[in-house]
Amino acid sequence: MTRPVLAAPRRPTRAITLGGLAIGGGAPVTLQSMTTTKTADVEGTLSQIYALAAAGADIVRCTCNEEEAAEGLAHIVPRSPVPIVADIHFHHEMALAALEAGVQGLRLNPGNLRKEAEIKQVASEAKDRGVPIRIGVNAGSLHPDLYKRFGGATPEALVESARMELAFFEEVGFSDVKISVKASSVPLMIAAYRLASETFDHPLHLGVTEAGPPPAGLIKGTAGIATLLAEGIGDTIRYSLTADPVEEARAGRQLLEALGLRERKGLDLIACPSCGRAEIDVIKVAGEAQVALEALNLPIQVAVMGCVVNGPGEAREADLGIAAGRRRGHLFIKGKIIRVVPEDEMVAALVDEAQKLVAEGIEARLAAADAGAEAEAEADRQALFEAKGADANHAAAKVELIRRTVQEEHDRG
């Protein structure tokens, strides 16, 4: 319902299609993750793919490092709910086998698969089948010659690796390509993608590689991916976490929704950090509301505010919210009070109204507001304002003390 405004326009890139899914060319930014199962374990891999798709993944990558993995892909691809990309590292024959298995995309690491003839053979086969390839450059596996030439894994070295691979593809007339220039260093990753966006018009796949376990991995991934997306750079993304890959998909989905790049499909819960005016344990109530509402998977923004003095006004853009005051909760929609409930019923009332809001719409629920709710809430607000005031954190007293201290020091001087 609530849609954030994107800070910068998307940078134009050419369009490609992966299993019927548009990437680049102004299409919505897509979300990817990767299975952690052995690809030869067909049922286990499919189970994880379905879990990733349910969490928001548009594309799933599976390793194809051996013949058994390629055979597994032949069974997985027809049953997958999303396009499958085969991850190829050292053996070009695995790329050819994956194409035979029917995968919708390939990922090649130019730092590992280095023979020109083999690279061109894979590109030719992919071209004949209409299968796109991601040139997946990684700072940790850069070709030694480039490492030596550029004095390390610099942005220029990463982009040059992609350019060289792209030149091989172009020699066989293959251009159905997306590019990534990942690094585990966030500043290096950002600089490399900025340079790549100036160098290529191909879609860019964003990611901070080997980011590690949450919460640090989430922070690093978000720092890199969100920075670039906010600049309009990037067509598809993946968090690389040392965790259940479902966490990657959830994080990516939440990021794209927060940036306004994808329509909201899940809950966005906002809550005040609490202050001297708080009438409830905001952390406790927000946590209970988060658990209850996430279980319903409702595509709305919900606010939990600690007091009624400023809460409804500060969270007026939320689809739905509740603020506490005088042992009661003020339930509001888009800042308008619709109901006043007992404090111990706040979370239940929030969940009940959330379900009705999604089913009936904002205008219908505003029309169903309790008569006298606004007047009742205003009485609570005024009572609390007089009791605690708008300066519950004593800022005015501190300001006066500062002024007095400065003046005294000035008089002494």
The pLDDT value given to residue 308? 63
Give domain limits for the chain: 16-258, 268-388
Instruction: Classify the phi-psi angles of 209: left when phi > 0, otherwise alpha if psi is within -120 to 50, otherwise beta.
Output: beta
Is residue 15 within 8 A of residue 25, CB to CB? The reply is: yes
Each residue's pLDDT tens digit, 221-233: 999 999 999 999 9
> Is pLDDT of 213 > 60?
yes
Q: Cα separation of 228 and 253, whole Å? A: 16
In DSSP terms, 18 is beta-bridged to: 21
Q: Are 136 and 107 in contact (CB under 8 A)?
A: yes
Question: For residue 360, is pLDDT > 90?
Answer: yes
| Side chain identity, residue 113 | L
HSE toward the beta carbon, residue 354, CA cutoff 13 A: 29
CA–CA dist 266, 269 (Å, integer): 10
Q: What is the pLDDT of residue 279?
A: 61
Tell which residue, 303, 359, 258, 212, has the closest CA to residue 56: 258
Model confidence over 231-252: pLDDT tens digits? Answer: 999 999 999 999 999 999 999 9
Strands 328-333 and 21-23: unpaired
Q: 86 — alpha (psi -120 to 50), left (phi > 0) or beta?
A: beta
Q: How confident is the model at residue 1 (pLDDT cuts 50, 70, 90)?
A: very low
Please give the Cα distance from 74 to 69 (Å, whole number).
9
- Topology at the third CATH level for domain 268-388: Sulfite Reductase Hemoprotein; domain 1 (3.30.413)
Residue 285: partners with Cβ closer than 8 Å, 6 or more residues away: 304, 324, 346, 347
Rounded to an integer, the average pLDDT of 176-188 is 97
Pairing of strands 177-182, 16-18: unpaired
Second CATH level (architecture) for the domain 16-258 = Alpha-Beta Barrel (3.20)
